[in-house]
Structure formats: structure tokens, C-alpha cells
Amino acid sequence: MLKRIIPDEFVESIYDIDYNALQRRGVKAIIVDLDNTLVEADRPDATPKLISWLDQLQGMGFKVMIVSNNTRTRVSRFATPLRVPWIHAAKKPLLSAFNRAMRQLETTPEETVMVGDQLFTDVLGGNRRGMHTILVLPVSEVEGIFTKVNRLMERVVFRWMKQRGLLGWEDRK
């Protein structure tokens, strides 16, 4: 069970991912979480840096989709102006949203990466579906109650990972 919540990569932010390396591995699509992965949970719009990042990825030929457990209103208001496809109320780590996203992106798990800030939703769901998973540090400490509970459980897992030399960024989490 614990192996399913270990990400394939740890990076500080979406901006630190080696997208050229992913492309060389045959990755064609990036599924990304919204809140505390792309922007703070309370930020309604994309930052100029994020818009530039999206342009860069799309310029490289990557398909990008936002898959979030948040509401239709939150996700659509953020993603629609960016012209990025999205799935709301994804119920991650359940597989249905991941399957739906890959159908829309027309990719296989081997061609798709899941990027997110939570072990028990983003990483677990992506790993269960056979995708390459990348865990990023949360961009903010502002979080909902369910996420706060997840973070408590994550601390236990991070301690376990650290004891086994599996933690990619030491005591940052």
C-alpha cells in the first residue's frame, strides 16, 4: 500500500520539472492538480508566470489538463480563460477522472504524467492508474479542512519515507 503513495519524482514546484526529460520518455500529456499545485487555493486567476508556463508546455507539444477535486465554479473560472480542459469534483484518488482525462487527451498512462501537491489524492490516484507521478510542494498553507487532515497523514508517511531514504527534499514538508 505505501508504495502506491510514493511519487516517482519530488520537485519544489511545477517550474522545476524537467519537461525535456519527460518528452524524451514519450510523455505527451500532463494532468495537473489546481489548488496549491498551480496557484494558492484562494487565488481566483492564473499568474503571469503560470500563463507563461502553460504557453511553454503547449509550445513543446504537451497537452495539459486540470483535474481537481474542487467545485465546477472554482475550476471552470480558473481554467476556461486559459483554454485548458478541466475536470472538477474528480474524487481523486478514484480512477474515473484519470480515465476520463486520458480519454479526452487521447493518451495512455505511459504517455501521461500526474502532477500534484498531495500524496493521498494526486500521487495515489496517478500511481494506481499507472502514470508517472510528480509531487510538488504546496504553494500555500491556506487549505480546506479535508486537505488539513490529509496533511496530518502525509507527515506520518514523510517520516517513513525519510527513514528509508525515499524523501526527495529532506525536511521541507
CATH 3.30.200.20 for domain 2-172, yes or no, is no
Distance CA 133, CA 73 (A): 27
Q: What is the pLDDT of residues 67-76, one digit of tens each?
A: 999 999 999 9
* 63, β-bridge pairs: 29
Q: Is the pLDDT at 40 greater than 80, yes or no?
A: yes
Of residues 137 and 157, which shows the higher confidence score?
137
Q: How confident is the model at residue 173 (pLDDT cuts 50, 70, 90)?
A: very low
Q: What is the pLDDT of residues 2-24, one digit of tens each?
A: 678 889 999 999 999 999 999 99
- What pLDDT score was predicted for residue 43? 94
pLDDT value at residue 168:
57
Contact (CB, 8 A) for 161 and 10: no
Answer whether 134's CB lies under 8 Å from 11's CB.
Answer: yes
Cα 152 from Cα 149, distance rounded (Å): 5
Comparing 140 with 129, which gets the higher pLDDT? 129
For residues 152 and 10, which has the higher predicted lDDT (pLDDT)? 10
At residue 148, what are phi and psi to the nearest 5 degrees? -60, -40
> Are 67 and 97 in contact, with CB atoms under 8 Å apart?
yes
Tens-digit pLDDT profile for residues 80-102: 999 999 999 999 999 999 999 99
Which of 33, 49, 53 lies closest to 41, judged by CA?
33
Asked if residues 110 and 25 have their Cβ atoms less than 8 Å apart, the reply is: no
Per-residue pLDDT at 116: 96
Is residue 158 scored above 70 in pLDDT?
no
Domain borders along the chain are 2-172
Q: Is 63:28 a contact under the CB 8 Å cutoff?
A: yes
Task: Report the 10 Å Cβ neighbour count for 123.
Answer: 27
Q: What is the pTM of this model?
A: 0.85
